[in-house]
């Protein structure tokens, strides 16, 4: 008997790192497709030093003969970012719409991967047939061009995978929302399962259109006398267009700073989703424009240290400098966890006399995700038998399931690794699959639980003591043990040198150790560790990490 399964490998239980598997076929032999392959971003608290976080798609690795294809819903990093890193282990065709394909091919080129594996698909009714799946791309509005929901037809029924979306009748870039487009999907064939974006389920007011920003932004930019600098996500091409047009209306020349933003704009033009973007000038040319006639569009809405906004907050960037009387606008929302970085930039501008303006509770920014009333509206249009909340932290999934259940739709909270059997009338847990996160660290890939990052966190919290001891052929210590401190105060109580106190105590203790301990690396190390921690507790009230290096000279 064939079954229909759903398995999130990422994105369900977190915001970011989206990766969803659908399968159809006999149990354990289902044909599979993968929808999205995104990254999450590291932070100092939990993943210091890490460059990127990727979903562990190891579950797929021994099922490659069953994996039909990869579908990417849109070009945000949390949906496409892991593709160049994980594709080499999957090597399946990648289907997406034109703009997403443009971004995907840029990534493949940089990674030296075959760009012809990325296939551009036109929107519904165009259909990709792979194995038992017929997949169509349905245009939806979001904060990037050409985001698409997927209609996935299987012999067991129709799936509607919402991807990231909002209801926007006037989205500035791309097609406006049209209820008919969605009710038609359900009319054509009843929707068995809807997997649905959950990120904004706690926002209780209806979402607002991108087009509502034009007027307040134009007014704001017109009212300022100095240079105006605005930041937003580089991929929010509609916002960039709104900002640029507002700037033009205020007689300002536009200059774009930041590689990722420029890249998105040119990809949008290449994919023909953006036209009529006002002419921009180079940073050199911008220097010739009077400040009151200049508007910069810059990267760094999250206060990222290397982005243009942070660079400008620290001083000159590409010859351009912010000054008293200038204005900096965050046409963006701070993602939870980035508050400190954003405020650092804000305060640095404040010190320069630059007035910083944030989104002012939505006046200068609207979200790209559907809020609760919008989700409820879409539930009613699609009328699915089952609702699977996806893309959200556990709290979002639970809340989304709750509102679905309240309106009579069977719903299941399925965090990463929960395989659901969707064959019947209600979702049932089929299996729990081991999933996890991979850390891209420099050029290495390490498991989140490998201990490498745990050690980094411990070193940062506790500091490190390295003890070196040399013993001769007869297991007799040669000279005193040597102590090095890293990340620890150099002196303890009464201004005594901490390392010297440790060395003295170690020397004394080691002098009293018996032959058996001295001859045994493990026991000796344990003794040394004990002394170091004890001295540290007494002297500085901390228990540091301890590395012991025992060198034994051998007769030649």
Residue 323 is a binding residue for a copy of itself (CB under 8 A): no
DSSP state of 428: E
Q: Are 171 and 211 in contact (CB under 8 A)?
A: yes
Which listed residue (468, 475, 504, 519) binds a copy of itself by CB under 8 A? 468
Within 351-390, the residues that bind a copy of itself by CB under 8 A are 351, 356
The least distance separating a copy of itself from the CB of residue 125, rounded to whole angstroms, comes to 39
Beta strands of 262-416 (E only): which ranges?
Answer: 280-281, 294-298, 327-330, 355-357, 386-390, 392-393, 410-411
User: Which parts of 271-338 fold into alpha helices (H)?
Assistant: 283-286, 308-314
**Binding of residue 110 to a copy of itself (CB under 8 A):** no
**Which residue pairs, CB below 8 angstroms and at least 24 apart, start in 397-403?**
397/12, 397/13, 397/198, 399/198, 399/201, 399/202, 400/196, 400/198, 400/201, 400/375, 403/201, 403/372, 403/375, 403/376
Using CB under 8 A as the criterion, what x/- string covers residues 472-501 for binding a copy of itself? ------xx--x-x-xxxxxxxx--------
H/E stretch holding 268 reads helix 259-270
Q: How far is CA 113 from CA 91, 350, 445, in A?
A: 10, 45, 18
Contact 232, 240 (CB under 8 A): yes
- Closest approach, Cβ 329 to a copy of itself, in A, equals 14
Return the range that interacts with a copy of itself (CB under 8 A); candidates 4-12, 28-36, 272-280, 391-399.
391-399
Q: What is the size of the binding site for a copy of itself (CB under 8 A)?
A: 64
CA distance 111 to 316: 32
User: Looking at beta carbons only, is 8 or 25 nearer to a copy of itself?
Assistant: 8
Q: Which stretch binds a copy of itself (CB under 8 A): 140-148, 213-221, 312-320, 463-471?
A: 463-471
Least distance (Å) between residue 61 CB and a copy of itself: 16
Cβ 400 to a copy of itself, closest distance in Å? 11
Q: CA-CA distances (angstroms) from residue 387 to 98, 158, 400, 489?
A: 29, 12, 9, 56
Binding status of residue 553 toward a copy of itself by CB under 8 A = yes
Binding mask 155-174 toward a copy of itself (x if CB under 8 A, else -) reads --------------------
DSSP-derived secondary structure for 228-267: EEEE--TT-HHHHHHHHHHHHHTT-EEEEE-HHHHHHHHH
Nearer to a copy of itself, 13 or 81 (CB): 13
Please identify, among the stretches 92-100, 229-237, 266-274, 447-455, the one whose residues bind a copy of itself according to the rule CB under 8 A: 447-455
Residues that bind a copy of itself (CB under 8 A): 13, 43-46, 48-49, 336-337, 339-340, 343, 346-347, 350-351, 356, 393-395, 397-398, 415, 441-444, 446, 450, 452-453, 455-457, 459-464, 466, 468, 470, 478-479, 482, 484, 486-493, 540-542, 545, 547, 549, 551, 553-554
């Amino acid at each position: 008997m064939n079954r229909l399964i759903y398995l999130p490998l990422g994105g369900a239980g977190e915001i970011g790192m989206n990766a969803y598997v659908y399968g159809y076929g006999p149990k354990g032999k289902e044909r599979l497709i993968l929808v999205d392959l995104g990254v999450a971003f590291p932070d100092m608290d939990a993943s210091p030093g890490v460059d990127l976080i990727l979903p562990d798609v190891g579950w797929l690795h021994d099922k490659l003969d069953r994996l039909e294809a990869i579908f990417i819903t849109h070009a945000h990093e949390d949906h496409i970012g892991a593709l160049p890193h994980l594709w080499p282990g999957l090597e399946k065709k990648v289907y997406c719409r034109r703009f997403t394909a443009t971004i995907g091919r840029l990534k493949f080129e940089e990674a030296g991967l075959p760009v012809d594996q990325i296939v551009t698909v036109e929107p519904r009714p165009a259909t990709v047939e792979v194995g038992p799946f017929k997949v169509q791309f349905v245009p939806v509005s979001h904060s990037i061009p050409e985001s698409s929901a997927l209609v996935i037809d299987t012999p067991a029924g129709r799936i509607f995978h919402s991807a990231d979306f909002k209801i926007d009748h006037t989205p500035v870039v791309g097609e406006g929302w049209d209820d008919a487009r969605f009710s038609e999907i359900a009319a054509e064939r009843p929707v068995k399962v809807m997997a649905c974006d959950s990120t904004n389920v706690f926002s209780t007011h209806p979402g607002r259109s991108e087009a509502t920003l034009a007027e307040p932004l134009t007014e704001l930019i017109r009212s300022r006398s100095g240079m105006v600098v605005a930041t937003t996500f580089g991929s929010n091409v509609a916002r960039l267009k709104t900002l640029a047009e507002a700037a033009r209306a205020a007689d300002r020349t536009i200059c774009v700073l930041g590689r990722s933003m420029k890249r998105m704009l040119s990809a949008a033009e290449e994919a023909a989703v953006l036209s009529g973007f006002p002419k921009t000038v180079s940073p050199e040319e911008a220097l010739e424009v009077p400040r009151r006639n200049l508007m910069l569009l810059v990267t760094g809405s999250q206060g990222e240290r290397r982005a243009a906004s942070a660079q400008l907050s620290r001083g000159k960037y590409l010859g351009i400098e912010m000054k008293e009387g200038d204005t900096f606008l965050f046409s963006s929302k701070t993602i939870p966890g980035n508050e400190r970085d954003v405020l650092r930039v804000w305060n640095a501008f404040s010190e320069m006399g630059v007035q910083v303006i944030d989104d002012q509770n939505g006046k200068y920014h609207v979200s790209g995700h559907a809020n609760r009333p919008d989700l409820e509206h879409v539930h009613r249009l699609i009328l699915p038998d089952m609702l699977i909340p996806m893309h959200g932290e556990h709290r979002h999934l639970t809340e989304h399931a709750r509102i679905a259940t309240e309106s009579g739709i069977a719903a299941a909270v399925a965090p990463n690794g929960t395989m659901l059997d969707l064959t019947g009338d209600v979702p049932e847990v089929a299996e729990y699959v081991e999933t996890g996160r991979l850390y891209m660290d420099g050029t290495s890939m390490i498991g989140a639980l490998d201990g490498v990052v745990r050690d980094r966190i411990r070193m940062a919290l506790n500091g490190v003591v390295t003890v070196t001891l040399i013993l001769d052929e007869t297991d007799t210590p040669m000279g005193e043990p040597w102590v090095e401190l890293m990340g620890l105060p150099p002196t303890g109580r009464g201004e005594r040198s901490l390392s010297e106190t440790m060395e003295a105590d170690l020397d004394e203790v080691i002098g009293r150790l018996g032959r058996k301990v001295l001859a045994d690396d493990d026991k000796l190390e344990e003794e040394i560790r004990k002394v170091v921690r004890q001295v540290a507790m007494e002297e500085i009230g901390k228990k540091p990490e301890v590395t012991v290096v025992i060198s034994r000279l051998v007769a030649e």
